[in-house]
Homo-oligomer: A and B are copies of this chain.
Amino acid sequence: MVVRRQSKIRQAIYETVVSHPVHPTAEYVYEHLKPRHPSLSLGTVYRNLGILAEQGLIRKIGAQGDADRFDGNMEPHSHVQCRECGRLEDVFLSYDAQMDEKAQEVTGFQIKEHSVIFSGICPQCAAKEKTA
């Protein structure tokens, strides 16, 4: 597992994650690619998502919910998750490096980075609640 070869499937998986701003799960990527790659197996999707994340080409998001979700946008940014429907979206706010310094002082850890997840209600679910 040292020198990686180029595989069509891995490329396709990568492109799926990058071009789908919904922050897909492995299952989602699998379902998306299955029609054009009928022989694709779910294990391969998991393996490649892991490899891509390890190589720093995509990122695994630590969100609430059952399945891991992936993000193809590597610019530092945060996420919002809807409490009702689980929808996960990007939030572009400037990265506050001072927080890392403060946390380092307080904890004694060598802080590398931080991630922020906002939690709330998305516009669609807010509209539904008014109806109900």
Give the B-binding residues of A (Cβ under 8 A).
60, 62-64, 78, 80, 82-83, 89, 91-93, 99-100, 102-104, 106-123, 126
User: Are the C-beta atoms of A99 and B93 separated by less than 8 Å?
Assistant: yes
A86 to B108, CA, bound (A): 15
- Between A and B, 17 residue pairs with Cβ closer than 8 Å are A78-B103, A80-B103, A80-B107, A92-B106, A99-B118, A100-B118, A104-B120, A108-B122, A109-B118, A111-B118, A113-B118, A114-B116, A114-B117, A114-B119, A115-B116, A115-B117, A115-B119
Chain B's nearest CB lies how many Å from the CB of A127?
11
A63, A64, A116 interface centre (most CB from chain B within 10 Å) = A116
User: Are the C-beta atoms of A111 and B120 separated by less than 8 Å?
Assistant: yes
